[in-house]
Amino acid sequence: MDKNTSRYANAPVDLLKQAAMASPWGFAITERQRTGNPVLFVNQAFEFLSGHKADETLGKSWHFLLGRNPDNHSLEQLEEAVRQGSHCSVVMQKTGEDGSVLRSELTVAPVLNRSGDVTHLTWQCRDLSSHIEREEHLEAAIAEKEERFSSYVQNATEAIWRIDFIPPIKLDMAESQQVRKIFQNGIFRECNDAGARIYGLKNGTEVIGKYLNEFMELSNPENVRRITEYARNRFCMKNLISYESDVHGTMHTIVNNMTPCIENGRLQYIWGASLDVSEHFETLQALKQSQKELAEKAIALEEKNTALRELIANIELDKKDFKDRITANIEQVLLPSLDRIRLKSDDAAYVDQHRQALEDLTSAFGRRITDVRHKLSPREIEVCNLVKNGLTSKEIASLLKIAVHTVEKHRRTARSKLNLANKGINLRTYLNSL
């Protein structure tokens, strides 16, 4: 007796029988050395799984253990195991009397005597229906989730894609080599329609199978710079900007968010989501250009204003210089000359009036009385100047050698042009206020 046999030699037979009967697994014993390999023992679980009561099975061929309508493939495997007296395990599917499909796992194992001959076979059976049902529910749930995910990906307005690297990229190689391999080894394995539209295509299936370098050029230094930054960040990146060309040669500005799969120090694939911001980018660039042009125009306008202010200042200086020169000529040349003429003239009063007129040229009155807005004639200006100096109409008429009524007419016309008509304002008082 070997060690394994001696281990259970003292076990009570009744206890073993009770344990077998209480097992939730189906358990049976057949006698292989007798013709037909008849059934010696079945427990209650086996009765249920086989569909036969014990009194219907005991002494009958082992085929009764298979129940009704076993599938042919499993039957062939079990028959071979019985002939060889070998171990065998099969999953059986059979139809119950009510039409239900039952699945079970049946395992047959040989029992050897001391001489090593197979004398009996043990049969163990467990119901897989609930287990398989749970698996089917799980598979169905997974399939439903996959379908929902696929629907979400396909209908998303954002491009969703996966790039596999064949072969995977070793992360211990030089940075420049990694970048080159990303362009060369990257191939699209997943892509929705939104991703296809970025590249000028209609369907995501048109992108699948194409290499990354067909859309994203290694010759673009900005792409190289950004992919290098991506590699330095262990291939995790948010809002990575790339410049990619569609099938028509049009460049697009793309914002990418990517998540890598790294196994055993190799970059296997990348899941990514992308958004084409070309239109927004162009608008932003146009806005920046407009702001630049506006700033340049503002600077140019300020320069023009500065030049204008300088010109006005120069004009004012010129006006002051002109006035100063006129004043100097009047005061230094004309007035002394009139003084000399007055001494020799019989009409000193007339000379005095001319002197006063010249003095008025250098005063505010001269500028105001000759204002073009008043539209005074030269004679009216002359009369107004004499009125200002206190002369009566008779004195003015005598001085100017004209009639008194003519002087009165000039005075009335001047009052009208000076907006003094029908106003109780003295002409001389008004003229002295200018």
Distance CA 253, CA 363 (A): 74
Pair 193, 253 in one domain: yes
pLDDT tens column, 199-246: 888 888 899 999 988 888 788 888 888 788 888 888 877 777 777 777
**Does residue 259 or residue 51 have the better pLDDT?**
259
pLDDT category of residue 263 using cuts at 50, 70 and 90: very high
pLDDT digits (tens, 9 = 90+) for 151-188: 767 777 788 889 999 999 999 999 889 989 998 999 99
In a domain, 341, yes or no: no
Verify that 7 and 109 share a domain, yes or no.
yes
What's the pLDDT tens digit per position in 73-118?
777 888 888 888 888 988 877 666 666 667 778 889 999 988 888 8
Question: Tokens in use for 322?
Answer: 């002109």
Q: How confident is the model at residue 408 (pLDDT cuts 50, 70, 90)?
A: very high
Q: Which of 219, 241, 276 is the last residue of a domain?
A: 276
* Digit-coded pLDDT (tens) for 355-403: 666 666 556 666 666 665 668 888 888 888 888 888 899 988 888 889 9
Report which DSSP code applies to 171. T
- Tell me which residue has tokens 């055993």: 264
Query: 251: domain range?
Result: 156-276
**What are 3-37's pLDDT values in tens digits?**
554 454 555 667 777 777 777 778 888 888 888 88
Q: Is 78 exposed, middle or buried (0-12, 13-18, 19+ CB in 10 A)?
A: buried
pLDDT confidence of residue 166: 93
Q: Which amino acid is at 179?
A: V
Residue with tokens 């059986």: 92
61 vs 133, residue with greater confidence: 61
Examine residue 281 and state whether it is found in any structural domain, yes or no: no
Q: Determine, yes or no, domain membership for 239.
A: yes
CB of 190 closer than 8 Å to CB of 208: yes
Among the residue ranges 47-51, 114-118, 315-319, the one predicted with the least confidence is 47-51
Does residue 13 sit in the same domain as residue 123?
A: yes
In this structure, are residues 199 and 247 in contact, taking their beta carbons and an 8 Å threshold? yes
- Mean pLDDT of all residues belonging to the chain: 79
- CATH code (residue 388): 1.10.10.10
DSSP state of 342: H
Same structural domain for residues 243 and 162?
yes
Same domain, 176 and 264: yes
Q: Do 120 and 180 belong to one domain?
A: no
Question: Is the same domain home to 162 and 271?
Answer: yes
Least confident of 5-19, 252-266, 282-296: 5-19
Number of domains observed in the structure of the chain:
3
Distance CA 411, CA 35 (A): 162
Q: What is the pLDDT of residue 164?
A: 95
Tokens representing 96? 């119950």
pLDDT given for residue 262 in this prediction? 92
Q: Are 400 and 407 in contact (CB under 8 A)?
A: yes
Same domain, 28 and 89: yes
- Residues of the chain with pLDDT > 90: what percent? 10
Say if residue 124 is in the same domain as residue 178.
Answer: no
Contact 156, 274 (CB under 8 A): no
Same domain, 115 and 185: no
Looking at 252, 276, 300, which one is the last position of a domain?
276
Residue 338 maps to a domain: no
CATH of the domain at 118: 3.30.450.20
Q: How confident is the model at residue 1 (pLDDT cuts 50, 70, 90)?
A: very low
**pTM across the whole model:** 0.39
Residues 109 and 189 occupy one common structural domain: no
**In Å, how far are 115, 344, 387, 392, 415 from 357, measured between CA atoms?**
161, 20, 12, 17, 20
Q: Flag whether 140 is in a domain.
A: no
For residue 50, give Cα distances in angstroms to 35, 93, 238.
21, 12, 61
Specify if 174 maps to a domain: yes
Domain boundary among 233, 254, 276: 276
Checking if the pLDDT of 350 tops 70, the result is: no
Q: Is residue 412 one of the residues assigned to a domain?
A: yes
- Structural domain contains residue 162: yes
CA distance 159 to 275: 6
User: 129 Cβ partners below 8 Å, 6+ apart?
Assistant: 102, 103, 104
Ramachandran assignment for 159, one of left (phi > 0), alpha (psi -120 to 50 degrees), beta (any other) = beta
At residue 282, φ and ψ (nearest 5 deg) are -65, -40
CA distance 67 to 100: 14
pLDDT of residue 261: 92
